A and B are shown apart, each in its own frame.
Chain A
Amino acid sequence: MKSVLKGVQLPNGKTTDVTIEGTTIAAIESTSEAGLDCSGLIALPGFVDVHTHLREPGFEASETVLSGSRSAAAGGYTAVLAMANTDPVTDKAEVAELVARLGAESGYCEVQPIGSVTKGLRGAELSDLEGLAKSSAKVRMFSDDGMCVFDESLMREALIRVKAFDGVIAQHSQDPQLTVGAQMNEGPLATELGLKGWPAIAEEAIIKRDAQLALETNSRLHICHLTTAGAVEVVRWAKAKGAKITAEVTPHHLLLTEELVRSYDPVYKVNPPLRRQEDALALQAAVLDGTIDVIGTDHAPHSAEKKQCEWQNAAFGMVGLEHAASVLQQVLIENGGQTWERFAALMSTKPAEIARLTGQGELRVGAVANLALIDPNARRTIQFQTHSRSQNNPFARTVLPGAVVHTIYRGRFTVVNQEVQELNG
C-alpha cells in the first residue's frame, strides 16, 4: 500500500511531498503523483510518551490498553511507555508480555511496557530486572512511578544492574516521609485552604541524591515529572557535572498553577502537585534552554467515582495524551519562538532515545512511517469527552493552539481529519 502526503511542511521549514510505501517512508521529495492534500500541515515524527498510565491489567474501569492507545493516537502519538503500577504490577516478564501483546492487538500505537524497579512497588526488593529485559517485551525502562524508590541502596543497585542491558531508571521523586498526608503544594495557599502541604524539598532532595548516585554509578537516570524551580536547578547542576540524566515535564505543570486548587475541584489534584507561578515559569524556561529533555504526559485516567468527591478523598491524576502537543506548541512555539525541530526533539526523538525504541522518533527515507501531521494554525476548545475512558482533564473548556489532523502508525492512518479510525486488527 502506498500513500503520498502532498505539500507537507517538514520540521526544518521546507515544503515537500512524503511518500509512504508499506510501513516505510519511501521518499521525501516532490512527486508528480497525486495524494492526500496536506498543505498547511507540519509533518513530525510520531510522538512518543515516556510516561503513560494505561491501567490495564487491573483498573479497566479507568482505562484499557485499547482506549488509552486510541487516546494516544488522537494526540499524535505512535508509541507510549506504559507505567508499571497495574494490578498485577509489571514486575515480571509475563505481565510485560501481556501489556505488549494487548498493545499490538490494539494496533493504534506501539505500547512498550515499563518494568517496576521493586517487586509489587513495595520498595523493599528489586524486581526481576534481567528477566524483564530478556522477555519478548524487551523492557529497557524501569519505574515505581506512583511511588518513589526511597531506599538509597536499592536505587543504587538498580542503577548498576540496568547498565548490563542499557536500561534506565525513571524515578518518581517524592520523599515519602516529608509528604505524609500531603494534598497540595506547601505554602501560604495550602495554609489558607487547610490542606496538608507538599514541600518542594521532598522532590528536590531525592533528585539531588539520585543524580549523585547516577554520577557515581555512571548509569542512566530519568527524572519523571519535575515540578519546582529548585528541581530545575538540581538537574542543571547534575548535567553540568556530566551525569547521564534526563528530565521530563508534564503539560499540566507547564501551564497550570496551585491557584486552581482554590476551587477544591479534584480535577486539579495531581501528584506531584501543581506548584506556584514562578515554578511553572522556571519549567517553561528549562524547556526552552534544553535542561528539560522531554514532555511526558503522566496521563493518569481515573473514573468519575474517584474524582467526584471531597478533595481529600479524590485520587491523584489527570489525563494528558490528547492535548500535550497543543500545550507544547503554546509554550515552545507561540511563547518561546523556538523551532519545530526542537518540538520534534521534545515530543519524539529524545523520548524514543531515552526509552531505546527503534523505529520511532525518525523522519527520514527508510525509517518506519510513524508520523503526526498537525495544523499549527488551528485553535480549539479542549473537550472533556475524549477517547480515554476517563474525563479528568484539567484543560477542558480552555482554548489551546494546534490540532493533530492525521496520525500514521507503521504506514497506516490511525487518525484522519482529527477522527480516530476504526482499525480491524
Chain B
Amino acid sequence: MRHLTSIRELTRESAIALLDNAQELAQVGDREVKKLPALRGKTVVNLFFENSTRTRISFEIAAKRLSADVINVSAESSSVSKGESLKDTAQTLEALGADAIVLRHPMSGAPKILAAQGWTKASIVNAGDGSHEHPTQALLDALTLRQVAASSTDLAGLRVLIVGDILHSRVARSNILLLNLLGANVEICGPEALVPSGIEELGASISHSFDQALERNPDAVMMLRIQKERMDGSYFESPAAYGRDWSLNSERLSKLRLNTKILHPGPMNRGLEISAEAADDSRSLVLRQVANGVAVRMAVLHNCLSSGGES
C-alpha cells in the first residue's frame, strides 16, 4: 500500500500481514540497540494541525527505530496557522523531500484529499482526522487483542464492547471497521445523544445500557475518552450523571469476568469514563496498547515506504 487513510483501504489479508509485521517489529523495542536500517535516507514528516503529543511521539519513535529522518511540523509553529492551505503546505513539504507525511487534522477527510489530489508524491498516513478515522489506533488495538487472545491470525469470534462517546470518536469508527474485517463481533454502547444514527451499518450492534451489556460477558471492553473539548454540555447532564451510567467504575469493575480485558486509547480522564482502579487493574491493557502503537506504526511506515509506489 502507498497510503493509509482509512481502514476501508485494507483487506482481511493485508490487515493480518500488517499485524504480523508489527508483531515482528515489536521485538526491536526489546533490543539494546533499538534500531533497524530499513528506512535509512527516508524523510518522515509529522504534520500535526491538532495537538496530540502521544500520537506524535509514537510515530516519531516508530520512524526513528527504522532509521528515517523525522521532522515535526505543528500548526502552531508554522505558517499553516497563518492561513496557508493544506495544498501549499503539502507542496512545500514535497519540495523539501518528504517521503511520508503523517497527518493529524481536525477536519474529516483531510488525509484522503491530500493523498488523492497529487499535491505531493509522499505517502500519506492518517494519524486521526476529525471524527472520521484513526486507523493506526485500530491496528494497535487489534494487535493488543490478538496477543491476549493468543491468536496468530485474526480475531474471529472475539466479542468487543465499545463504550462512550461514539459520536465524536474516530477511534470507534476505525475499530468497528477493522474488528469486523478480522471477524470479531462488535457491540457499541453509549448515551442516545452520543451514538450517531446509522453507525450500525459499519458493522456493530447498539445498546444503551452499560450494565446490561456487561451481563453479556464481552471478551474486551474498550472505553472511549470523553472529548470535553468537542462538547457544549448538552450531550449529558453532568460528569456525575455520566459517571453513574457510563463509567467503568469500581462497581462495574468488580462485576467484570476475570478474563475480560480493558482497553482505552488514552489519554484517560481518570474518574470520568474510567476509574483509576480500573485503569490500573491487572486486566487493563492500556500500557501494552501504547507499546504496540510504536510497533504498528513501524509496520505501517515500512509498508507505505517500501512498496515502491504501487497503490
Contact = CB atoms under 8 A, between A and B. Distances in A.
Please indicate whether A and B come from the same complex rather than being unrelated chains. Answer: yes
Interface of A: 186-195, 263-266, 305, 308-313
Given A191-B196, A194-B130, 15 more contacts: A191-B198, A192-B173, A192-B198, A192-B199, A193-B108, A194-B132, A194-B170, A264-B109, A266-B113, A308-B87, A309-B87, A310-B107, A310-B110, A311-B110, A312-B108
Contacts of A308: 85, 87, 117
22 contacts: A186-B197, A188-B201, A188-B202, A189-B198, A191-B198, A191-B199, A192-B173, A192-B202, A193-B109, A194-B129, A194-B131, A194-B132, A195-B132, A263-B116, A264-B113, A265-B113, A266-B113, A309-B85, A309-B87, A310-B110, A311-B110, A312-B108
A188 B133 CA distance: 15
Given A194-B170, A265-B116, A188 B197 contact: yes
A27 B48 CA distance: 70
A265 B129 CA distance: 15
B197 A187 contact: yes
B199 A310 contact: no
A9 to B, nearest CB: 44
A310 B133 contact: no
A390 B116 CA distance: 20
A247 B174 CA distance: 41
A63 B173 CA distance: 40
Q: Which of B87, B109, B116: most chain A Cβ within 10 A?
A: B109
Nearest to A183: B108
B9 to A, nearest CB: 11
Contacts of A263: 112, 116
Interface in B141-177: 170, 173
A191 B117 CA distance: 24
Contacts of A187: 197-198
B4 to A, nearest CB: 15
A190 to B, nearest CB: 8
A310 B86 contact: yes
Given A264-B113, A309-B86, A310-B86, A194 B108 contact: yes
Nearest to B85: A309
Contacts of B133: 194
A265 to B, nearest CB: 7
B105 interface: yes
B87 to A, nearest CB: 5
B105 A310 contact: yes
Contacts of A191: 196-199, 201-202
A312 B199 contact: no
A259 to B, nearest CB: 13
Contacts of A309: 85-87, 113
Contacts of B113: 264-266, 309-311
Contacts of B112: 263-264
Contacts of B198: 187-192
Contacts of A264: 108-110, 112-113, 116
Contacts of A192: 132, 173, 198-199, 201-202
Nearest to B113: A264
Nearest to A187: B198
A194 B112 CA distance: 13
Given A191-B199, A193-B132, A308-B87, A313 B109 contact: no
A370 to B, nearest CB: 41
A309 B201 CA distance: 29
A312 B201 contact: no
A195 B106 CA distance: 11
